[in-house]
Amino acid sequence: MTNEFFSERTEASEVTSKGALGLPAIFSQAVDVDDHVTGYLWSVDEINELAKIIAVIALGQAEHAAEIIKELDSIVPVRSRAEFYQEAREQLRIRGTTTNQIEVSRYHRDGFLFECMSWIEARQASTEDTYLKDPHISSTTQGLDGLIIQMDPEEKVVLHTTICEDKCTQNPRDTFRDKVMIAFNEHHLNKRGRDLLANAVSLIKQSGLTGTAAIFAAERVHNKTHRTYRAALTVNSDICTAEERQKLFKGYDGLTDISQAQRIGATFIVTGNLRDWFQELADHVIQSLDEFEKMEVADV
pLDDT reading at 17 higher than 50: no
pLDDT at 300: 52
- What per-residue confidence (pLDDT) applies to 118? 97
If one counts the domains in the chain, the total is 1
Hey, what long-range contacts does 10-14 have (CB within 8 A, 24 or more apart)?
12/125, 12/126, 12/127, 13/40, 13/125
* pLDDT confidence of residue 13: 45
Which pLDDT does position 22 carry in this prediction? 56
Burial class (CB in 10 A: 0-12, 13-18, 19+), 286: buried
Mind spelling out the 3-state secondary structure of the chain? CHHHHHHHHHHHHHHHHHCCCCCCCCEEEEECCCCCCEEEEEECCCHHHHHHHHHHHHCCCHHHHHHHHHHCCCCCCCCCCHHHHHHHHHHCCCCCCCHHHHHHHHHHHHHHHHHHHHHHHHHHCCCCCEEECCCCCCCCCCCCCEEEEEECCCCCCEEEEEEEEEECCCCHHHHHHHHHHHHHHHHHCCCCHHHHHHHHHHHHHHHCCCHHHHHHHHHHHHCHHHEEEEEEEEECCCCCCHHHHHHHCCCHHHCCCCCHHHEEEEEEECCCCHHHHHHHHHHHHHHHHHHHHHHHHHHC
Taking CA 156 as the corner, what is the angle to CA 154 and CA 161, rounded to the nearest 5 degrees? 115
**Span 128-163, pLDDT tens digits:** 999 999 998 765 456 788 999 999 988 888 999 999
pLDDT value of residue 142 = 61
Range of the domain at 148: 2-299
pLDDT digits (tens, 9 = 90+) for 79-90: 888 899 999 999
Q: What is the pLDDT of residue 75?
A: 86
Rounded mean pLDDT of the chain?
A: 89
pLDDT tens sequence across 167-213: 999 999 999 999 999 999 999 999 999 999 999 999 999 999 999 99
Instruction: Give the separation between CA 50 and CA 37, rounded to whole angstroms.
Output: 27
- Give the pLDDT score at 45: 92
Does residue 100 carry a pLDDT above 50? yes
Task: Specify the range with the lowest mean pLDDT, choosing from 31-45, 62-76, 165-179.
Answer: 62-76
